[in-house]
Amino acid sequence: MLDEHTPRGPRRPLPPGAGVTSITRQAPAKINLYLEVLGRRPDGFHELITILQTLELCDEIGIALRPARNPDDVTLSLELPPGFGATIPTGADNLVVRAARALLHAAGLTGETGVELALTKCIPPGGGLGGGSSDAAAVLTGLNQLLGQPCDAAALSRLAAELGSDVPFFLTGGTALCRGRGEIVQALESPAPFPVTLLLPPFGVSTPSVYSALGAGRVAAGATQRTDPSLVHMRVPELEALFRNDLEPAARHVEARLTPLLDEPRVHLSGSGSTLFLFGVPSDAVRAECRRNSMRIVETQSKNR
């Protein structure tokens, strides 16, 4: 539960429509079922076609309103599970703080309404699971609800795209086809829930380093520009046949410790890594390799809208 804070000086009223002053949202992880890199864009980003799928593994974020005590009054507290092994900043650079401030600004409430965020992390950062982006999307939608929906869906999408390439997807969740740098989102009919096992290394992989390793002007060989996949009737064998990740060779180059497991049948890279995953349960050989490399194994499943 979020603590109540009494501001110094005269209290300002909360905005109209804010009869409910706190809410809790779940922020799911994602994996890439398909990731095709078409080439580098003039703006420096890479043009992508990717199919994203949310998972049951999630962070949880509490959002509470209070009268502002200073301009841009957004605070963040963190709860990390034992052995999480990551340091996460709580200041202005954190994506959820930026998301809250962006929403307040869009609603015209900067300096009038303060926001307390309490984030419980379960999704490892820097692993290709989109935890930070998902947290930011949960703040956008949750805070927008608390403030009486000052932003419509189009405005939320614009804010999300300004925050990061994966953030717009998490406004939709489930299964979606994403284009551009990932910000153009087309919701898809999801397959029936399927089991996913995550293999979590004790190290991250730098996304800029992976994209740099692709090489300037690189265009994916055999680009298919897949535009209308039908997933709703797919089961695990069909999902395996669909899978593609053009970032895998670059990720292997950047972080050689991924190679032994990626050489195992059915083990895939999510995004730019470092998270690996497989559909279903891991083999004894995969489990043994994870033990040798101090990798955590997390069993979860897909999460539809």
Q: Which residues pair with 187 in a beta bridge?
A: 176
Residues found in the chain:
305
Task: Give me the catalytic one of 59, 73, 135, 166.
Answer: 166
3-state SS string over 104-155?
HHHCCCCCCEEEEEEEECCCCCCCCCCHHHHHHHHHHHHHHHHCCCCCCHHH
Q: Confirm whether 121 is a catalytic residue.
A: no
- DSSP of 184-222: EEEEEPPPSP-EEEEEE-SS---HHHHHHHH-TT---TT
Task: Give me the catalytic one of 30, 73, 121, 303.
Answer: 30
Quote the DSSP letter at residue 302: B
Q: What are the structure tokens assigned to 284, written together?
A: 């004894």
Q: Confirm whether 43 is a catalytic residue.
A: no
| Structure-token match 């153009």, residue found | 184
Which active-site residues does the annotation give? 30, 166
